[in-house]
Structure 1
């Protein structure tokens, strides 16, 4: 039988794993980007996702649960795909931006799933998740603008 804290901890661990994936994905994008502006943007996003992961780990620990320590198989596959696209794409920056948008849309859905789940989250966790989700939404708009500039 799953207890309330284990259920919340499980949901947070899912987001934690996705943030590890995003952090590594942005690092991969920064390594593949040709534009220094995009390289810097992707590096900043990678560090931001690392901070998100730290916040989530803290909340999971407060629930006396064990935080995940790695990303997912899907994240590894996504980063491999990004490297492959960079290798064969004539416009690497455009390819990295498209993958970033795709990843951010998936992140928004993941956060919405947790925030809209039937389990009632403690207010502190809701605040952390809402803040992170809002940052991701705003960054998605920024990425779309960068894509339009290209």
Structure 2
């Protein structure tokens, strides 16, 4: 099934957002003091890398000639710099707050794709649903960790 160039761009943006999250979680892991938190952040980085790869595979299956697999956006690099800056002065709680902020932006972008592309293939809808549910669960877990 051939997909529109607008949907290709939206999927590219989600791939980029997940690559940003991957790089952000790795940066947060480097700065975290707790070994348990470091392990958790690494696992979340790996999940986001998997999300990006799955989206790229879905895009390829949909007969798109316009696919890309970006390393991350400028906004993502700025966010990772902010995590680095805050972690120099704060503790693990500050890192978790930045992870929550990043996840909120990611969830918003996923939901915008649904709103703007209601005609997307069902298999892509299923992938997006699963990924956003996992991101929401991650956000809830991070909020719990932050409270501890």
- TM (norm. structure 2) is 0.93
Counterpart for residue 41 of structure 1: 40
**Separation of aligned partners in 2, 1:79 and 1:115:** 27
Contact 1:20 1:70 survives alignment (8 Å): yes
- TM (norm. structure 1) is 0.92
State the Cα distance separating 1:4 from its structure 2 match: 4.5
List alignment gaps of at least 5 residues for structure 1. Answer: none
The question of 1:50 aligning with 2:67 is answered: no
Give the 3-state SS of the residue equivalent to 1:116 in structure 2.
helix
For 1:27-106, what aligned pairs fall within 5 Å after superposition? 27-63=26-62, 64=64, 65-89=66-90, 91=91, 93-106=92-105
Contact 1:32 1:83 survives alignment (8 Å): yes
Q: How many residues align?
A: 145
State the Cα distance separating 1:19 from its structure 2 match: 0.4
State the Cα distance separating 1:59 from its structure 2 match: 1.3
Cα root mean square deviation, aligned:
1.3
List alignment gaps of at least 5 residues for structure 2. Answer: none
**Separation of aligned partners in 2, 1:77 and 1:8:** 26
**Separation of aligned partners in 2, 1:127 and 1:4:** 16
**Separation of aligned partners in 1, 2:74 and 2:117:** 27
**Separation of aligned partners in 2, 1:86 and 1:25:** 12
Counterpart for residue 112 of structure 2: 113
**Separation of aligned partners in 2, 1:69 and 1:148:** 34
